[in-house]
Amino acid sequence: MNIDYKKDFLINALFWVIILGITVITLKYLPTFLLPFFVGIAISFFMQKPAEFLEKRFKIKKDIFAVMLTIGFCALFFALLILIIWAIGNKLMNEIKLMPQFFSAIENSVNDIKDKIFNNMHSLTIEQKSNIEGVFSKSLQSLVATASNFLTRITTEILKGMPTFLITGIVTVVASCYFAKDFDRLKKFSAGLLSVERTKKLNEIKNILYENTFKFFKGYLIIAAITFIELIVAFLILGLKKPILIAFIISIIDLLPVLGVGTILLPWSIIEFLTGDILFGIDILIIYIITAIVRNFIEPKIIGKQIGINPIFTLISMFLGLKIAGIGGMIICPLSLTVVIAYYKKEIDKDSTVEKKHSS
């Protein structure tokens, strides 16, 4: 009996190692090529429960509701994304309009520094002064050229990426609709490739994942709400116009993968420094530092509480996920750890129940 148990344990361990290896390879190498389909599967998966509820309520096929919900979700997501891009673009356009003043302010600052050097160094010869002026002139030209090249490169990359982005978005929406419509058939087909026992285990894992994914994102919504409140308070103290709108946009960006509050606050602070409003630039930088510290402190605690893991293990799993698969790994790794722990807790409870029955 003991040998059989060890064999089962080794087979299960090997199975999970293979699954983990496939997951790592998938996260690391395939997203570039298959991202629309992964996203489509994820969206269609989350639309199934609401579609089932609506089917029971209105006695209409679940497939129809699944497709409708998927289209509605995609439309809402892209509308929100366009709103965020428009807000950022509007802010950038306003800053670009100030670029001539910005370069003029830099030129004046450079000239002031040069004049101070000349005033404090009376012993300089004409040739030395000419050399210093040449250095300042070249530095200024280099700065202007670097800034212009940077803006040109960013604009070019955005324009080049627009067709790919649009095609990817369309493919994602279409794939989501197909997966949503045929979800049950695809599920049966996938189940047919596995044994009954494996299918049961995967269903258990799916239920655990489904339950904890909502808890996971609930945790991030709580973090976003805390960030939102922090930013509103800070912006009200600074006397900014439309503090609620700006705080809301930054909080939404903070929820998105890769991006964070630093995506807005750090460039904003740098622009204020360069345009001469140093005190306001320092204020924005302080706001960024405070929000970043608070987030790094509360994130493991809140996420750990939501998914039932000790904060230190949440922190370790997030860091390992970052190292293995980048930003996406910071989401996948804690969720995977939660699923594994919850699954084996259930298995232990089952074994203890069976043992009690045999003993009785």
pLDDT at 286: 93
Token pair of 345, please? 């807790």
Q: Whose CA is closest to 335, among 208, 176, 181?
A: 208
Contact 340, 19 (CB under 8 A): no
CA distance 316 to 333: 9
Give the pLDDT score at 313: 75
Q: What does each of the 360 residues of the chain score in pLDDT, given as a tens digit?
A: 456 655 666 666 666 667 666 666 666 666 667 778 888 888 988 898 899 988 888 888 888 888 999 999 999 988 988 888 787 777 777 766 766 666 666 667 666 766 666 666 666 666 766 776 677 677 666 766 776 677 777 777 777 777 887 888 888 899 999 988 888 888 777 767 666 677 777 777 777 777 777 777 788 888 889 999 999 999 999 888 888 888 888 888 877 655 578 878 888 888 887 777 788 889 999 999 999 888 888 877 887 776 666 767 777 877 787 777 666 677 777 777 777 777 777 766 666 665 666 665
Domain residue extents for the chain? 35-193, 195-349
- Cβ-Cβ contacts under 8 Å for 207 (sequence gap 6 or more): none
The pLDDT, as a whole number, for residue 264 is 84
What pTM value is reported for the model? 0.52
What's the confidence (pLDDT) of residue 68? 93
Which residue has tokens 């006695």? 59
Answer for the pair 43, 180: CB distance below 8 angstroms, yes or no: yes
- pLDDT the model gives residue 1: 46
